[in-house]
Structure 1
């Protein structure tokens, strides 16, 4: 089978196999994984999502380190190819999605049936591959951790990225007033089309002034939940907008700068700060992930959420996919798509 290997830690935007030291290589004869348990399921991958975490993993900057070489990738969608003798939940030909710690940038993956989810009829299979990590992260953060409720004010930083768009949509489903922060006309227009209550364009405006003006006009006191996958200066500015008793969700640091939240202010204002490492729930609270993804898939089937696929690439174009992430050209999800190479397109 064809698989993308990280053989050296380095820059994932460099063309695979372009030099002996390039980080990525395309292995066209990688062994097809075999079923290693009676409840194992082998899936022929249709699409796999590229997340910011993958970018960091290949650079060696992620919180977890992996022995070389490894196949990156976690969430995916595809068609069941074969099943173990004790598999009862799935049959060959079923459309499914799921996530693994590593290995989805390949034509086949093997996963236990307990970790696999059926894609509802009528749902786009490529789009479903972008649901588990981005939407799962935002749903666990907003629903299970912050318990976002109708009427609360949600401020989403990095709102045009994968987890950001997910947070915006989940916020609207929960009945919150959603304020989104992004940069550029195209991103702002998309967010407005999704029913966001107020959008701050960082290329033309200031977060504090823009949000305070909106809150005053709507007679709202402040922000109840801050969703932050960015860090850096925007986090510092956003803290000025938080209500007494607000909740802060630390999702990641796309800016490259880990923010400092003054403990004395958190004390006085009774803020709750949640660190959210979604993947670790698999070990510590697997039931939360299962409940979350089942609810998200039901929302997807009902049309309550939609997965915006910004770019699709073939496996050999993985460097272009990573470059799109690096250059902030992504609005929603970047997907690596297998099969039908004539239909694989890039909007770059």
Structure 2
């Protein structure tokens, strides 16, 4: 048999060769680790549907942060569980709200950590929707003012990046205007620009206690069937002043990450969401897959699709594996 002159296997025969020509690499400095913050003291509660992930009280945050930094994971994103909820989600922008306290704690104890904050109302409303309601329908424009107040309160507490996840039309412009007007023009906005109405969010809603009490979020989150619409959503956010564009979920929407990467020159983030994480963990616990290899392969697929930043519950696990 006559072979072609070029044999690809020549460059695959050992790790030194493979590493030499590897096109994509995972770097813990480009991971963001989600943290769920709960009221109380000295609390650390396991989340049953997300093995290895915990809700922690504010006094436990510094320990979590130092562990991240030790592993090279320099950034976290905060989600809060307030003591009280109401119809308007007023706890989201309270000066001494759960996230505002968490930001100050981290910036006081671990100032080198980058703190990103999720800006949404679903964790703070008693109905579980991402905005205020009129006749059981989320009112887009009335919600914008509350979102801007929330983002501003995070910036004033010391947040490095604010990340609106609500999918209200016009929220990036509203938040950008509020930040700039109050002297926070250097705080970037990482917009959940393309957030689908996905079935992969279930474990997160357990963790953050934010499932809708009626209906669903398909009236404001994107239809999973659409891809061209993703470009329209991202373009709007770019025009309104977004600094980073995010796609959520990640693995089920690698094509969308790739399309945004081709279309825009802003940094692209991808959220490897709770359901995507939980499936790998569950299968690995049953011995059906090699958990470490599947974790690495999955995160590499997100990177290969074009993401610069990966928000993932695997951040610490992957950092440990890379260190080994």
TM-score by length of 2: 0.27
So what's the TM-score if we normalise by structure 1?
A: 0.25
Higher strand proportion (structure 1 or 2): 1
Higher helix fraction: Structure 1 or Structure 2?
A: 2
